[in-house]
Structure 1
Amino acid sequence: MRLLLLLASAVGCALLGAVVGGAGVVSHTRLPALLLLLLAAPSTAVALGAGWHRRLAFAAGWVVVVMLALQQRPEGDYLIGQAWRSYVLLALTLGLVLYAVVTLPVRGRRAPRTDAGSVSDQA
């Protein structure tokens, strides 16, 4: 049951990432929309919390949409062009993926145990 809930959470966060990423791809050419995107996407990633089923799924949904938008359209042009705003969008995508991967919790590693109440033997 727990795995099913984690999977549902991952799918929901991936869909959220895809929707936000799609909105970013469509509106990144306008400066106010780009500024809003630069604030909203990292804020959402921080608010979701660490984990493969939350933050990493959000970033994965975002990356899938951006990578699909990088493909050449039938007309011969691209949704993400060669303007500086497009490079800001790609840098934001890279930053989201790096942040999601770096902040993944490490399984099996615990903090070293310290006995604060013990008196050390100092001669």
Structure 2
Amino acid sequence: MRALLAVSCLVLGVGVALCTVLLHGYAWGLALGLAATAATLVALPGGWWARLAFAIGWTALLAFVTPERAEGDYLVAADVNGYVLLLAGILVLAAGFVGVRPHRPAAADADPEVRVP
């Protein structure tokens, strides 16, 4: 079941990144794409099968469209919006790794009778 969810999150990441890349030339498109990306990263639980899969899909599409195209131009422009998009790719990948390992409460947190001075 987790593998199916991982593939779904990967495809979701590719879709959100595609929309963000195609609209990053407009300020409202870049803001909307980054807001949707951040909201999805916050909403997904940590783990390789959810948040990390989304982040890998997002950054994989960005890496795929970044090189020079056959026509000699670039899909990601070399302007402020393009550089913000590339920086966002680094941050999205870093955010994907946050929470990969599950948080285990410390021994003092597990037992309410134990008090630490």
Q: How much identity, in percent, do the aligned residues show? A: 33
CA distance in 1, matches of 2:5, 2:25: 31
Q: Which runs of 4+ in 1 moved over 4 A?
A: none
For structure 1, list consecutive stretches of 5 or more residues without a partner in the other structure. Answer: none
TM-score, length-scaled by structure 2: 0.88
CA distance in 1, matches of 2:84, 2:23: 12
CA distance in 2, matches of 1:67, 1:41: 16
Alignment of 1:1-123 (within 5 A): 5-106=1-102, 110-114=104-108, 116-117=112-113
CA deviations 1:29-79 (Å, max 9, x no partner) are: 011111111211010111111111000000011111100111211111110
Aligned in 2, Cα 1:65/1:113: closer, same or farther, shift over 3 Å?
A: same
Code of the aligned partner of 2:16: V
Between Structure 1 and Structure 2, how many residues are aligned? 114
Task: Report the Cα offset of residue 118 of structure 1.
Answer: 5.8
CA distance in 1, matches of 2:57, 2:78: 23
Mapped contact 2:56–2:96 kept (Cα < 8 A): no
Aligned in 2, Cα 1:116/1:57: closer, same or farther, shift over 3 Å?
A: closer
Mapped contact 2:25–2:81 kept (Cα < 8 A): yes
For structure 2, list consecutive stretches of 5 or more residues without a partner in the other structure. Answer: none
Code of the aligned partner of 2:5: S
Q: Aligned with 1:103: secondary structure?
A: coil
TM-score, length-scaled by structure 1: 0.84
Aligned in 2, Cα 1:8/1:74: closer, same or farther, shift over 3 Å?
A: same
